[in-house]
Amino acid sequence: MRKSHLLLLLISSLLWVCSCTEKKKEEAKPAQERPNIVFIIADDMAWDDSGAYGHPNIQTPNIDQLAKDGMRFDNAFLTTSSCSPSRTSIITGLYPHNTDAEQLHWPLPTSKITFVEQLKKSGYWTAQAGKWHLGDSIKTRFDLVKDVGTHGFQLSPTGEKTKQKGDGSGCEEWVPVLKQRPQDHPFFLWLAAVDPHRPYDDDIIANPHALKDVVLPPYFPDTKEVREDFVHYYNEITRLDNYVGQVVAELDRQGVSDNTIILFISDNGRPFPRDKTTLYDSGIKTPWIVKWPKKVEANSVNTKLVSAIDIAPTFLKLAGLEALPSFEGKDFSPLLEDPKAKIRDLVYAEDHWHDYEDYTRAVRTEEFKYIRNFYTDLPNTPSADAFVGGTFQSMRELKKKGELNEAQLACFVSPRPSEELYDVVNDPYELKNLAEDHDHQKTLKTLRSEMNRIRKTSKDSLPDFRTPDEFDRETGKSNAFRKRPRPSKVEMEKIIRAMPH
């Protein structure tokens, strides 16, 4: 009996150990199957400036291949057309006006929650490499940060610029950081380029583009100076494209491509007049390519609306986590398996101070765009970096000669109309304002009502003070005005009183 009892006890113990081991394996399995996430963000790249989106001449073989291997989104939009506000909106899942970092260079406050620390808490290894532009307070949300500064340089405490090592692309640490990842954790990478942000350099790629390769939208004059400016811009996109290819190749080498999600976008439109800092599609529409071999059908196209505010809840959903109550976006993951699904009827976008004061809002459906200009006295001046490019210089000279057409004069016009309405299907460059067209009054009223609703529910309202311009709107010269970080109301009043009138 004693032997039988001992035998039964031994068998029971073995069964219990096996059961516990099996249970642990089952509990560990979901973590092992959680996808890796690689988020690649270009700096100032227009949505259609790649072969993937139909550009006939630009050299983007790796971005094109990314689209062939995944899903290309044709109606993807940002919440703003300004660099740092766009990034802080993405990482918090909030509209810019709710981030407390809605103006250029304002750092994201420590109090704001991001999707990154949620991934980190759940077991993801999180890392950033490249352009930062989010503020120092949230760097601890990542396990590793390789910050190259705002535009490939760091600022010393005295304000002096220190050039970073590398080629200026901001992408040199992408693959090294990927190689540093621990092997026993899913990983999230925020890979941020400096390309194709100004300033531009010569001789950065082996086979530079030619003047004949340039495809100009109709709101640019066709001059040699403009084409030369675009050539430099194209070359930087090609340099960025090379680094995208290196990341994909490294994922393949590590054998993790099948269950790694790659999302490629831009933070805003190209740094040219009527593009960056505007709410036209050239400012807020973005390339948006998702590659995920395990789940996403290769060479697929999605025409449904998505917004950058949707990225945060989607990344958490794909990682098996719940979206935060603070998030204002929607989970777009259903679109990855069913391109016919629909998550939103419209997107909302905003424009705040970026070198120059502005306050503009837009709603965009698949067919129409409605823009409300609250400061109609201000012209649609491009960002200050556009002043150093040949394009705006050429446009200013042609304006003096009276040789610009109506579309090319748009960034000089003051006052602006308070409302703009465009049929984006038949007028993709948004050149014909239909706000006063009799046949479109119903659409105008509907979209005006939708904007008012979003402004009310998201608590979007005019600021108490206008922020002074940092640069002269005619010459582009600095007014020696810096307002970093966010000033208090008292400080802002002092600044305004001290400004020349």
Residue type, 256: V
Residue 126, SS3? strand
CB 128 within 8 A of CB 145: yes
Residue type, 446: T
For 411, the enclosing helix (H) or strand (E) is: none
By CB atoms closer than 10 A (0-12, 13-18, 19+), residue 446 is middle
* Residue 19 pLDDT: 44
Tell me the C-alpha distance between 309 and 403, whole Å: 41
* pLDDT-derived band at 12, boundaries 50, 70, 90: very low
Is 149 a residue whose pLDDT tops 60? yes
Residue 87, SS3? helix
What pTM, to 2 d.p., does this model score? 0.90
* pLDDT-derived band at 500, boundaries 50, 70, 90: low
For 302, the enclosing helix (H) or strand (E) is: strand 300-302
Q: Pairing mode, if any, of strands 36-42 and 187-192?
A: parallel
Q: How many CB atoms within 10 Å of residue 47?
A: 24
* Residue 482 pLDDT: 61
Tell me the C-alpha distance between 56 and 53, whole Å: 9
* pLDDT-derived band at 157, boundaries 50, 70, 90: very low
Tell me the C-alpha distance between 469 and 485, whole Å: 16
Cβ-proximal residues to 121 (8 Å cutoff; 6+ apart), any chain:
none
Q: Output 423 or 495, whichever has higher pLDDT.
A: 423
CB 87 within 8 A of CB 41: yes
Q: How many CB atoms within 10 Å of residue 391?
A: 27
Which of 344, 349, 359 lies closest to 78, judged by CA? 349
Structure tokens at 125: 């290894």
Helix ranges restricted to H, 256-348: 281-284, 311-318, 334-337
Tell me the C-alpha distance between 243 and 300, whole Å: 23
Is 492 a residue whose pLDDT tops 90? no
Is 213 a residue whose pLDDT tops 60? yes
Lowest mean pLDDT among 24-38, 278-292, 381-395: 24-38
**Mean pLDDT to the nearest integer, 283-300:** 97
pLDDT tens digits, one per residue of 332-344: 999 999 989 999 9
Structure tokens at 111: 């109090």
CB 304 within 8 A of CB 292: no
Q: Across the chain, what does the average pLDDT equal?
A: 90
* pLDDT-derived band at 17, boundaries 50, 70, 90: very low
* pLDDT-derived band at 151, boundaries 50, 70, 90: low
* Residue 3 pLDDT: 45
Residue type, 287: P
Lowest mean pLDDT among 63-67, 177-181, 482-486: 482-486
Tell me the C-alpha distance between 175 and 129, whole Å: 9
* Residue 465 pLDDT: 87
Tell me the C-alpha distance between 488 and 383, whole Å: 25
Show contacts of 150-155: CB within 8 Å, 24+ apart. 150/105, 151/194, 151/197, 152/194
- Cα of 296 vs its chain's centroid, Å: 22
Report how far apart, in Å, the C-alpha atoms of 330 and of each of 185, 309, 411 are: 27, 7, 33
* Residue 484 pLDDT: 59
φ, ψ of residue 408 to 5 degrees: the values are -80, -15
Q: Which residue has the tokens 């005619």?
A: 474
* Residue 464 pLDDT: 87
**Mean pLDDT to the nearest integer, 71-89:** 97
Tell me the C-alpha distance between 232 and 245, whole Å: 20
Angle between the 83-92 and 311-318 helix axes, to the nearest 10 degrees?
A: 40
Domains of the chain are 33-340 (3.40.720.10), 360-492 (no CATH)
CA angle 437, 438, 441 (to 5 degrees): 90
List 80's β-bridge partners, or say none.
Answer: 350
* Residue 361 pLDDT: 98
pLDDT tens digits, one per residue of 404-459: 999 999 999 999 999 999 999 999 999 999 999 999 999 999 999 999 999 999 99
Tell me the C-alpha distance between 340 and 283, whole Å: 26
* pLDDT-derived band at 166, boundaries 50, 70, 90: confident
Is 152 a residue whose pLDDT tops 60? no
CB 201 within 8 A of CB 231: no
Is 128 a residue whose pLDDT tops 60? yes
Is 88 a residue whose pLDDT tops 90? yes
CB 451 within 8 A of CB 348: yes
Q: How many CB atoms within 10 Å of residue 469?
A: 19
Residue 293, SS3? coil
Tell me the DSSP string of 170-212.
S-TTHHHHHHHS-TTS-EEEEEE--TTPSSP-SS-SSS---GG
Looking at the chain, the whole-number percentage of residues with pLDDT higher than 70 is 87
Angle between the 224-254 and 390-401 helix axes, to the nearest 10 degrees?
A: 160
φ, ψ of residue 369 to 5 degrees: the values are -125, 130
* Residue 439 pLDDT: 97
* Residue 357 pLDDT: 95
Q: Pairing mode, if any, of strands 368-373 and 360-364?
A: antiparallel
pLDDT tens digits, one per residue of 242-264: 999 999 999 999 999 999 999 99
Is 116 a residue whose pLDDT tops 80? yes
Tell me the C-alpha distance between 269 and 263, whole Å: 17
Lowest mean pLDDT among 30-34, 157-161, 234-238, 379-383: 157-161
